[in-house]
Homo-oligomer: A and B are copies of this chain.
Amino acid sequence: MEAITLVPVGVVRNSITQPVDDVWGGLISTIELDSNRFTPRAIAGLDTFSHVEIIYHFHSVPENDICLDARHPRGRSDWPEVGVFAQRVKNRPNRLGVTVCRLLKVSGLSIEVEGLDAIDGTPVLDIKPYMKEFAPSGVTQQPQWATELMSHYWNSAGRK
């Protein structure tokens, strides 16, 4: 399949400097848009939304560590071995992350958000306003291992 070239539109700035798990609750990040390409007009009106969806690149994952197969989430052998596309692990093909964050402030080329699970320096590939019509239709279901994993995910750094 033909490769696709993307250019980051901005970068994440926050206090998390190393790839870690389960520290994202309440974390404040600033997304700095690329001032060579954008003016504040690119985010005009964004502040009329309460939440934004951020697409970013897990840039700290080495290409050699990408999984194309199945593995136990977090290496937990008591959880089932599932495919890389059946989990949200960062060692995934194309290394894309997607998270809906609370929007705190828009100022100039800066977007302040709460709950972005990306480390300092992460390249941002897109910013979309969250619209309720994009919520999942109907009731969602997920396996027990996912609920157990996620029960710690939004811990805060410093108060686990």
Contacts and interface: CB of A to CB of B under 8 A. Distances in A.
Contact of A93 (B85, B102, B126): B126
**Interface range for A:** 35 or more
Contact of A41 (B4, B37, B69): B69
Interface string A16-43: 0000000000000000001001111111
A102 B137 contact: yes
A96 B153 CA distance: 26
A87 interface: yes
A88 B128 contact: yes
Interface string A123-160: 10111111111111111111100110010011000000
A107 interface: no
Contacts of A94: 6-7, 9, 55, 125-126
Contacts of A11: 1
Contacts of A57: 4
